[in-house]
Structure 1
Amino acid sequence: MGILRGIRVAAVTLCGVGGLSGAMYGLLTGQGKRARTLIGRSTTDPHRADGLYPGGVGSVLKFAVLGDSLAAGLGAENADLLPGVLLARGLVEETGRSVHLTTYARVGATTRTFISQVDQAVADPPDLALVIIGGNDVTGKMRVRTSAALLGIEVARLRAAGAAVVVATCPDLGTIRPIPQPLRSIVRQWGRMLAKAQRAAVLRAGGIPVPAADLISAEFHMRYSELFSPDRFHPNGAGYRHASDVLLAPLCRALTAST
């Protein structure tokens, strides 16, 4: 399912088809098509830069990044601006330890397909894991309760394998300006509901949730032209740097709490 077609279907589902007038249904359908045309489709995979980032003392810190295209860094201009790379280097600076980065994240991942990433990660458990997932659950109209429950199960698996886990909850899809109103407000509402449910599930599973919509999205609203990539849907390198600056502190706290 195309991402913007999914957004339109999700919006119609959220409103309840029975409660929509023919005019409103037609409006949402038309807006989904228009947004899909404006954004287009990504045709390239993100850069990859997994490996060792040297530090000074202590054992090597194994750091894993799991999730969707935001975790993978789609839209970054080069490998140095991938969120995993920015955070790995930040962890080296903060801890003094060498960091080995492994990226399991995949473009288009949902919380259902995320299970396979966790399968790979627990086979060689990281010390610290960052998860960014949920946007495709909204565009794919997965039930909020189902999505959050699946996430909780996988966070618990990572924790049982010995990893400290930080989860950036569903971002604010209302920052995507090619999605016109009222469709944008509807999708924002869905994402907010999912983020709230994700937070509760992550806490129950022993992870640390970070409210991405609250802590990260405001800057994207204000600096839209500076922080988004040409597809107008994913961040660019500057956008990933902003997000990484917010996420580094929770990752350090999670690491300290687990030792």
Structure 2
Amino acid sequence: MRAAIIGATAVGGAGAVLGGRALLQRQAAIARSRIGKPHGEEAIDADRVWRKRFDGPPLELLVLGDSIAAGLGAERRKDTLGARVAKGVGARLKRPVRLRTAAVVGSESSALGAQLDALPADYRADVAVIVVGGNDVTHRVPISASVTHLTQAIRRLRAAGAEVVVGTCPDLGALRPVPQPLRALGARISRRLANAQAAAASAAGARPVSLRRAVGAVFISDPHEMFSLDRFHPSALGYRRTAMALVPAVVEVLS
């Protein structure tokens, strides 16, 4: 009898797992159809020298990572994440800042190495900002693998003389187009990844910034203002708030 109960429990548990997986797959398809690609696959090119009115040679700011790092969803180049950070850092340090965006829409952490490889051989950044992780969560990349790629990128940058600031994985629980329970699962995994990224960044000599703690609450409480048309990527205001969380850390590592 006990063996029969155990067997039935095992079968029922397996069925629940399979059923749960099928539910999550259906919900992922729903989320993809709701979000769509209204912004396309290319972010606005914001690479230029910002705060030109200040004297001195420009600080070299490099931005690596995914679509948020690239500024997808911003309708004007001055509203991209890189431009917002460049303007904020330039204003605080009274220096012009030259932005170079190597981030690529759709990137996982495994793409960071290729983004660095694509830079000109003679390019040297004074500071790099990395924002990555959301695609690792949605594509179910193991956290250990994500963190390994992030660590390798930080070490390469530090070896080349650059300071590094890492904006950790945003809270995917803020994404209203994603139905429950998939949204709750995404929130839980993104928080675990963010914590692992913060620990790895600190160990590798970078300055982590928790985007979940800094701006997560306002994205949840005011999604219509913080998100762009696709309700997945930040709006101009969303990028502004995100940059405001990153700028103090960038200024700190450069000082």
Q: TM-score under structure 1 normalisation? A: 0.88
The Cα of 1:19 is off from its aligned counterpart by 7.7
Q: Is the 8 A contact 1:55 1:99 kept in 2?
A: no
* Structure 1 stretch displaced more, 61-70 or 36-45: 36-45
Question: How many residue pairs get matched?
Answer: 240
Match of 2:98 among 97, 100, 112: 100
- Name structure 1 gaps, 5 residues minimum: 1-16
- Mapping for residues 58-207 of structure 1, pairs under 5 Å: 58-121=56-119, 123=121, 124-207=123-206
Q: Which amino acid aligns with 2:194?
A: A
Worse overlay, 34-43 or 226-235: 34-43
Structure 2 gap segments, 5+ residues each: 1-12
**More deviation, 39-48/165-174:** 39-48
- Separation in 2, partners of 1:27, 1:112: 28
Q: Give the drift of 1:201.
A: 1.0
Contact preservation (8 Å) 1:64, 1:121: no
Output the CA distance in 2 between the equivalents of 1:120 and 1:87.
22
Out of 31-40 and 163-172, give the one that drifted further.
31-40
SS at match of 1:27: helix
Deviations 1:40-82 (A, max 9, x none): 1342411112111214233321111111000000001211101
Equivalent residue, structure 1, for 2:227 = 228
SS of residue matched to 2:164: strand
1:43 and 2:54 matched: no
CA separation in 1, counterparts of 2:240 and 2:28? Answer: 29
2:28 to 20, 25, 32: 32
Kept in 1: contact 2:137–2:186 (CA 8 A): yes
Measure the CA separation in 2 of the matches of 1:143 and 1:25: 17
* Offset at residue 167 of structure 1 (A): 0.3
Distance 1:186 1:60, change over 3 A: same
Post-superposition shift, 1:88? 1.0
Contact 2:209–2:245, Cα closer than 8 Å, also in 1: no
Shift of 1:139: 1.3
* Deviation at residue 113 of structure 1 after TM alignment: 1.3
Please give the root-mean-square deviation of Cα atoms over the aligned residues, in Å: 1.6
The answer for the alignment partner of 1:218 in structure 2 is: 217
Equivalent residue, structure 2, for 1:13: none
**What is the DSSP-based 3-state SS (H/G/I as helix, E as strand, rest coil) of the residue aligned with 1:101?**
strand
Q: State the distance in 1 between where 2:165 and 2:119 align.
A: 14
Change over 3 Å in CA distance of 1:185–1:255 after alignment to 2: same
Given that 1:227 and 1:238 are in contact with CA atoms closer than 8 Å, whether structure 2 keeps it comes out as: yes
The Cα of 1:22 is off from its aligned counterpart by 4.4
For 2:42, the aligned partner's letter is D
Aligned to 2:6: none
Length-normalised TM-score, structure 2: 0.89
Kept after mapping to 2: 8 A contact 1:122/1:161: no
Identity of aligned residues (%): 40
Tell me how far 1:225 sits from its aligned partner. 0.6
- Counterpart residue identity of residue 27, structure 2: Q
Give the partner amino acid of 2:149: L
